[in-house]
Chains A and B, each alone.
Chain A
Amino acid sequence: MIAHHPGDDLLLSYAAGSLGESWSLAIAAHLALCPVCRDAVAAAEHIGGVLLDETPAETMTAGSLEDLLTRLDEAPVETFEPVAPETAVLPEPLRGYIGGDLDNIPWKSSGGGTYQHLLSTNDLAQARLLLIPEGRPVPEHGHGGRELTLVLSGSFHDQTGSFGRGDMEDADEDLIHTPIAGRGEDCICLAVTDAPLKFTGFVPRIVQRFIKI
Chain B
Amino acid sequence: MAVALTLNCAPMDGRYPNPASGAILPRAARPGAAPEKANSERNSKDMTEVNQFNALLGKIAETQDKRAFADLFEHFAPRIKSLMLRLGTDPHTADELAQETMLSVWRKSHLFDPAKAAASTWIFAIARNLRIDRFRREKRPELDPNDPALIPAAEPMADDQLEANDQAARVRECLETLPKEQRIAVQLSFVEGLSHQEIADRLDLPLGTVKSRLRLSFSKLRPMLRTES
Residues of A within 8 A of B221 (CB): 43-44, 47
Of B12-20, B25-33, B37-45, B133-141, the one contacting chain A is: B133-141
User: Given contacts A12-B218, A65-B70, are A55 and B107 in contact (CB under 8 A)?
Assistant: no
Residues of B within 8 A of A77 (CB): 60-61, 64, 106-107, 109-110
Of A33-41, A108-116, A130-138, A203-211, the one contacting chain B is: A33-41
Contact partner, A17, options B107, B129, B149, Cβ 8 Å: B129
Contact partner, B148, options A49, A79, A84, Cβ 8 Å: A84
CA distance A50 to B143 in the complex (A): 22
Q: Are B82 and A92 touching (Cβ within 8 A)?
A: no
Contact partner, B73, options A33, A65, A97, Cβ 8 Å: A65
Q: Are A31 and B144 touching (Cβ within 8 A)?
A: no
Q: Are A21 and B139 touching (Cβ within 8 A)?
A: yes
Tell yes or no: B77 within 8 A of A by CB. yes
Q: Are B186 and A78 touching (Cβ within 8 A)?
A: no
Determine chain B's interface SS by DSSP, over half rule: helix
Q: Are A48 and B82 touching (Cβ within 8 A)?
A: no
Q: Are A49 and B120 touching (Cβ within 8 A)?
A: yes
Q: Are A84 and B144 touching (Cβ within 8 A)?
A: yes
B86-117 residues with Cβ-Cβ distance < 8 A to A are 86, 94-95, 98-99, 102-103, 106-111, 116-117
Tell yes or no: A104 within 8 A of B by CB. no
Q: Are A24 and B108 touching (Cβ within 8 A)?
A: no
Interface residues on B, range: 35 or more
Tell yes or no: A18 within 8 A of B by CB. yes
Q: Are A79 and B141 touching (Cβ within 8 A)?
A: no
CA distance A63 to B167 in the complex (A): 35
Q: Are A52 and B83 touching (Cβ within 8 A)?
A: yes
Closest chain A CB from B120 CB (angstroms): 4
CA distance A184 to B119 in the complex (A): 47
Residues of A within 8 A of B186 (CB): 12, 47
Q: Are B151 and A48 touching (Cβ within 8 A)?
A: no
Q: Are B138 and A123 touching (Cβ within 8 A)?
A: yes
CA distance A45 to B167 in the complex (A): 11
User: Given contacts A78-B110, A84-B147, are A38 and B125 in contact (CB under 8 A)?
Assistant: no
The 7 sampled A-B contact pairs (Cβ below 8 Å) are A7-B215, A9-B196, A52-B123, A55-B83, A69-B69, A77-B109, A121-B138
The 5 closest A-B pairs by CB, nearest first: A49-B121, A57-B78, A43-B225, A49-B120, A21-B138
- If A42-B225, A45-B124, A72-B69 are given as contacts, then 15 extra A-B residue pairs at C-beta distance below 8 Å, sorted by A number, are A7-B215, A9-B196, A16-B189, A38-B143, A40-B222, A43-B222, A45-B121, A46-B171, A49-B168, A49-B171, A52-B123, A52-B124, A65-B74, A69-B70, A75-B103
